[in-house]
Structures are given as structure tokens and as C-alpha cells.
Amino acid sequence: MMQRRTTLLTSCTALALTLGATACGGGEPVEAGGGDKALSGQTVTVAGVWSGSEQKNFQKVLAAFAEQTGAKTQFVSTGDNVSTVVGSKIEGGNAPDVVMVPQVGVLQQFAQKGWLKPLSKTTQQSVDANYANVWKTYGSVDSTLYGLYFKAAHKSTVWYSPDALTQAGVEAPKTYDDMLKAGHTVSDSGLAAFSVAGQDGWTLTDWFENIYLSQAGPEKYDALAAHQLKWTDASVVEALTTLGKLFKDKQLIAGGQKGALNTDFPGSVEKVFGPKPEAGMVYEGDFVAGVAKDQFGKSIGEDANFFPFPAVGGGEAPVVSGGDAAVVLKDGKNADAGMKLLEYLATPGAAAVWAEAGGFLSPNKKLDLASYGDDVTRATAKSLVTAGDSVRFDMSDQAPAAFGGTKGAGEWKLLQDFLRDPSDPKGTAARLEDAAAKAYKG
């Protein structure tokens, strides 16, 4: 879900890229073409949620592919609802060749509808050699590999103002309890501890997932993600209780619960890194750095830094991820050329193009960390890659969209209600189970 989220942060800038950019966002497709090479004369159409700077940087990757192969490429931004847009294009006989899918649940849906081609042997060999097994698992349906994870998110990072923590005399905490203690010390120094983006329900699912993974462990996390474990399980109630202690502590949250419910994700970053800081820390993924840098001019590593989401209740420190998987549609007019694009995307060289441009993490462990432009991004990328198979994909992105990905409904809405009134974790767990049961049955 990270890409659905980060696209909200970037405005479409109508940049004319080298190699023939014609539009940005939902208008005419953007083209990049090469010379007389292996795929000369063929056009690969790619659909995805990206716009603005993300689209611009991905088009640099497409341009490198075009330069190598002679293919032309077109990127079409779908907006957030990839499933609906791609489905309508298939029905209309205008299917793209490649789709960058931001949710495991959508990839599974596409495969179950028979829309996808299994990845080529070359791509599978690259995945086996260059990726932790967990990425192969999330890209597979019924033991067939359909998705190549090209862009990843590290969603277990807590971002902070070094000035705020230094002024309060606290260091980056190692445990969740220590993080809350540090938060009270920051609050005593004049700033709220955390800026929470409660207006965007997806951020609250991320809070829950990190706490649950660390506190309950990976086996229960996997079971809950697949709804093989009910949301009424005692482990869910315990995680909600832990989260509720933060939500109800007005000293810790900027503006209290009401303020959090009126703060969207960009606003939560602004409350820490904007011109008038209201909090010392904001929890969210590595993409916080892009907002702090691009919108508020912060130097990453100096004016803005992160510490790993700390271990909860004696568990291991969590590593929750998200990402975009490239898939090839059977109905694409140039599906074979699309498969060649995936073979390229599986290489460290393709990942290096975007890594050098910034705003990107790759799960490809063969990518040289020197490709990233700053030490903080290198540290984030190293943390993601070295976590190996202990990485767990964003739980809400594995769920049916009706439960895990719909504004004003399902998990997003129920966790917003819990932020508003965290006094009944058991009741919230029951309501989450009711919503999940309906969505998974549907």
C-alpha cells in the first residue's frame, strides 16, 4: 500500500523527460524509445500508480531499458485503484503489457482471474539468486511465480528531529517502552512526542502491524494476515491494548486524539519537519524522508533521521515492508516484450538507476548500497535486505481491499474509531473480526 500512499504526496509536474516525455499522470502515455536493437519497433506499455517524482524516476529505468533493447515504452498512471482500471482496460481490449501492482491481495486477484503470465525462467533465476525467499513467496500464487518485486518500502522506521531529541537529552530508544519514556521526556521539553496521521487510516494499520509482528511473532502475523487466525484472538487484543496506551496519552500525541484524526500523512511529517514543529517524532516508512527533503528542505541524516521501530514486549524488532510487484498480463499486445522488461527489472543495474535518482529502496540484495545517494537511505536499505526472510509484507495490503484498503471502511475506519476512543480493545477486535469475515468471504 505504500505506493498508493506516497502517490498522494507527489504532485504531477508535467516534466518533459529525455527520450520524449509527453505527459504526466492520467493524460497521454509517456514514451521513451531507442534504436535498432533486439526489441526495435516494439512498444511495452506499463501501468502503475506512480505519478510526479516517482513516475519521473521510474521512467529513467524505462529509458535505460529502451537504450539497451531498442523498445519503446509507455507508462500510464492508473491512480490508486489499479484493479478497477486494469480490469476495464482488459475488458476494452486495451490491456497494458506490464502492471506495477502495489498490493499482494491485488496480485493474487489478478492471478486467480487468469490474467497473468508466469515469470520467465530467466526472471525466476534472478529472483532465486538476488532476492530473499520472502519476496518470491509474496510474488507467487499456488506456487507459481507471477510477480517481481522491484520497489520496496521499509515500514519499520521512526523518523525524528535530531534537534528535538538532543534538546530533550534523549537517545534513539531500543524498546517500545523506552520509546514511550523518551516521548514523555520530549514532551516535558516543550514538544509533543509523536505526530500521528489519524486522518489517513492506513497509517494506523501500520502502527498496529509493527506492534503485532513484534509482540505476537511472525507465525501469528502470517496467520492473521491470511485470516486463519481470528481478530478476536487474545494476541490482537493485547496489541490493541499496547497501541491504545499511546493513543490515549495526550502528552504523547500532537493535538491529542482529535488533532491526530485531523492530520493526514503529509501533515504529520510537517508537524515534525515543517517551519513550526509541534512534535519530535513521526512514525512511518522510509518515504517520510522524501517528504522531509522535498517539501521542507531537510537534509537527511542531519535535520532528519530515523531509528528502527523498537521491539515490543520482549519480542524481536519488527521489519514490515510493502512494495510494487511487476506482473505481465496475458492480454497485453506485447506481453513477450513485457517479459523482457521484467528480466531487466530483476537485475541490480535496473535498481541502481532509480536508487541513484532517490526515493527508492530495492529488495535486490545484489544492488550495491553505494548506489544510494545518502547514508541514511543506505542504512534503511541495508536493514531491509539483511532482514532477509524475517521481513513481513504489510498485513492490510495482503487483505481484500474491502477490509484492508478502503477509505472510511474496514480496518482503516475501525482503527480510526479506536484512535478516537481506545478504551475497549476487545470490542474493537470483535468489530475487526466481523469486517474481516465479510471481506474474506466476499
Q: Please report whether residue 397 resides in a domain.
A: no
Q: Please tell me the predicted confidence (pLDDT) of residue 131.
A: 97
Do residues 172 and 67 share a domain? no
Do residues 312 and 325 share a domain? no
Do residues 136 and 212 share a domain? no
Do residues 416 and 272 share a domain? yes
Q: Please report whether residue 211 resides in a domain.
A: yes
Q: State the angle between helix axes of 218-225 and 201-216 in degrees (0 to 180), rounded to the nearest 10.
A: 140
Q: Which cell goes with 115? A: 490474467
Do residues 434 and 286 share a domain? yes
Q: Please tell me the predicted confidence (pLDDT) of residue 401.
A: 82
Do residues 128 and 273 share a domain? no
Task: List the one residue out of 157, 155, 193, 382 whose CA is nearest residue 272.
Answer: 193
Number of domains in the chain: 2
Q: Please report whether residue 400 resides in a domain.
A: no
> How many angstroms from the chain centroid is the CA of residue 283?
13
Do residues 435 and 297 share a domain? yes
Query: What amino acid is encoded at 440 in this protein?
Result: Y
Range(s) of the domain holding residue 338: 2-154+321-390
Do residues 141 and 179 share a domain? no
Do residues 336 and 413 share a domain? no
Q: Please report whether residue 401 resides in a domain.
A: no
Is the CB of residue 322 less than 8 Å from the CB of residue 244? no
Query: Which residue's C-alpha cell is 487484543?
Result: 237
Query: Which residue's C-alpha cell is 500521528?
Result: 196
Q: Please tell me the predicted confidence (pLDDT) of residue 21.
A: 36
Q: Please tell me the predicted confidence (pLDDT) of residue 20.
A: 34
Q: Please tell me the predicted confidence (pLDDT) of residue 11.
A: 35
Q: Please tell me the predicted confidence (pLDDT) of residue 345.
A: 98
Do residues 43 and 138 share a domain? yes
Q: Please tell me the predicted confidence (pLDDT) of residue 84.
A: 87
Is the CB of residue 209 less than 8 Å from the CB of residue 404? no
DSSP lists the bridge partners of residue 154 as 321
Q: Please tell me the predicted confidence (pLDDT) of residue 90.
A: 94
Do residues 291 and 371 share a domain? no
Q: pLDDT averaged over consecutive 10-residue blocks of the chain (442 residues)?
A: 42 33 39 61 94 90 96 90 89 96 90 97 97 96 97 97 96 96 96 97 97 98 97 98 96 96 96 97 94 91 96 95 96 96 98 93 97 93 94 92 89 98 98 96 80
Q: Please tell me the predicted confidence (pLDDT) of residue 434.
A: 98
Q: Please report whether residue 402 resides in a domain.
A: no
Q: Please report whether residue 183 resides in a domain.
A: yes
CATH of the domain at 91: 3.40.190.10
Do residues 176 and 255 share a domain? yes
